[in-house]
Amino acid sequence: MWAVGLALPLAAVSACNKAAPHAPPPPEVSVLTVEPRTVPAQYEFVGQAEASKHIEVRAQVSGVIVARPYVEGTDVRKGAVLFRIDPTTYEAAYRSAQAQLANAKATLANAERNLARLRPLLADHAVAQRDVDDAETAAEQARAGVQSAEAAVDRAKKDLDNSVVRAEVNGRVGRALMELGALVSGPSDLLTTIDQVDPIYVNFSPSDQELLRWRRDIAAKRIRFPSGPLPVRALLSDGSRLPHLGKVNFVDVSLQPVTGTLQLRAEFPNPGHALLPGQFVRVQLMGVQRTGAILVPQRAVQQGLNGAYVYVLDDSGKVASRTVVASSWDGGWWIIDAGLSAGDRVIVDGTQKVMPGQVARATVYQPSADTTLTTRMDSIPVAPGAGPLTGAQR
């Protein structure tokens, strides 16, 4: 019995001497201290290409088509022969007009010789004044006859030249709408079309909400547009870039009533005909800068029931949740429009190990290669206050 009584005090002493367990160390997280910076502003729209010139080829004279020298769907140069209309009638009319001109010139020469003989005789009263007046009238009528005959020759020559239908611009000629042997009645008959695709136009339409946002951001000096015409880049359907940059050369004066968008048109060099009329592309505005932007790596932004949020560390090292508005991204970075300010410490790596109110140990975040910002506007001069509507050349 005394042994049991002795064991209880010894057990109590042993328990007291046993050390209390240590609390686990706070989790380690990488932290980025955010600072405002200037970055490229990302604006992308769907655009559709159209020919810079669309020419309807029509005959100016009537007749039967006797030749079509061009190959459909090929490029032609200005002045190339597209159609030949039977010239027989127009050649005959031209020769007849020339003959009438020669007759009028002969009549004029005779009238002028007669007038030259009569004028000296008037001083000697060898002829009557009426005879001289009649001779002058005949000479004037003959001169008018020559002018009328010359006009008839020009008209006949024009009709003869129009029997050969030529290309008025450089471009790609379309399908022939009238074949050999067809009777052309005149300008009412469409023969073919010519599309000039170098340069080529691309139409795209920002919404009215986008326009309002641009105006507000420009007024608040949050974005800056390049000086001069706004440069743009076109991306093809496979993601490849059109080799040459374009520039905005037209801004419509009013919104489209059905879609509520504003039509803009960009002109692109297209020497290799990589773009064809009707083709859809993605249009990127180049050289636009967003000033005072707050950026965080994409993996730092979490999605919850109430939207996007990030974890931040306060001055005491405790974790807090912060709701943010992320508008767009550049490379591996989200651009934060609201929810963060300069100096906030955002947790990038280790978010899965922490929760709000927990103490965490911070290390400096080191960006990796997948979070490199793009530099699409580095070589494009930017003018403060410029905008897409002021930079376009009408």
At residue 229, does pLDDT exceed 80? yes
What percentage of the chain carries pLDDT values higher than 70?
87
pLDDT for res 330: 67
Q: Where are the alpha helices (DSSP H) in 163-250?
A: 208-219
Q: Is 174 left (phi over 0), alpha (psi -120 to 50) or beta?
A: beta
pLDDT bucket at 17, cuts 50 / 70 / 90: low
At residue 127, does pLDDT exceed 90? no
Phi, psi of 118 (to 5 degrees): -80, -35
What does the alpha-carbon distance between residue 160 and residue 84 come to, in Å, rounded to a whole number? 11
At residue 377, does pLDDT exceed 70? no
pLDDT bucket at 386, cuts 50 / 70 / 90: very low
Pick one of 3.40.50.720, 3.40.30.10, 3.20.20.10, 1.10.287.470 as the CATH number of 87-162.
1.10.287.470
The predicted model gives 127-135 an average pLDDT of: 82
pLDDT for res 394: 37
What integer best gives the mean pLDDT of the chain?
84
pLDDT for res 20: 54
What does the alpha-carbon distance between residue 83 and residue 288 come to, in Å, rounded to a whole number? 49
Query: Which of 25, 32, 34 has its CA nearest to residue 353?
Result: 25
Q: Peptide bond preceding 388: is omega within 30 degrees of 0, i.e. cis?
A: no
The predicted model gives 271-291 an average pLDDT of: 90
Least trusted range by pLDDT, from 100-109, 188-197, 231-240, 357-366 = 357-366
Place of tokens 């206050």: 385
pLDDT bucket at 12, cuts 50 / 70 / 90: very low
At residue 392, does pLDDT exceed 80? no
What does the alpha-carbon distance between residue 54 and residue 197 come to, in Å, rounded to a whole number? 9
Count the helices and strands in the chain (H runs, E runs): 5, 23
Per-residue pLDDT of 148-201, as tens digits, reads: 999 999 999 999 999 999 999 999 999 999 989 999 998 999 999 999 999 999
pLDDT for res 390: 46
The predicted model gives 275-295 an average pLDDT of: 90
What does the alpha-carbon distance between residue 306 and residue 197 come to, in Å, rounded to a whole number? 50
42 versus 254: the higher-pLDDT residue is: 254
pLDDT for res 383: 42
The predicted model gives 48-75 an average pLDDT of: 93
Fold category of 44-52+196-289+387-391 in CATH: Elongation Factor Tu (Ef-tu); domain 3 (2.40.30)
Phi, psi of 46 (to 5 degrees): -85, 130
Domain spans of the chain? 28-39+291-371, 44-52+196-289+387-391, 87-162
What does the alpha-carbon distance between residue 78 and residue 171 come to, in Å, rounded to a whole number? 8
Hey, which bits of 87-187 come out as E strands? 164-166, 171-173, 183-184
The predicted model gives 268-283 an average pLDDT of: 92
CATH architecture of 28-39+291-371: Beta Barrel (2.40)
